[in-house]
Amino acid sequence: RSARAGADRARRSHAALGPWLWTLFLLTWLGGWATVKWLTPDVEEAAETHFAVGSAILACLTAAALLSRRIRRDRRARTIHPLLGATALLLCGVQIFLGLQLLP
């Protein structure tokens, strides 16, 4: 935990935005799945890796969200939570390049 000025406000903001962002990631994942399944089945093979990475991102964010409930009392949760977030962010960068291959 950071003791710098504004850290408490940043934590509250992070906690407030987290559920909204998780919901947006879930909706995006569902939209991508539905698009490949029903609208553009011709890219299904190329979309496999994109889907796998998207699923890994959602899994990391879900695990981080579940861990966030234990952050105040569990040191391991405080250690693992930011690692999951950083992993999800890194995978988002990979996801961009995989998605570019799917564009017409």
In a domain, 43, yes or no: yes
Cα 92 → chain centroid: 7
In a domain, 91, yes or no: yes
Tens digits of residue pLDDT in 5-42: 777 898 889 889 999 999 999 999 999 999 888 988 88
In a domain, 63, yes or no: yes
Q: Give 1's pLDDT tier (boundaries 50, 70, 90).
A: low
**Helix 7-34 and helix 44-68: axis angle, to 10°?**
150
Tens digits of residue pLDDT in 81-100: 999 999 999 999 999 999 88
Q: How many domains does the chain have?
A: 1
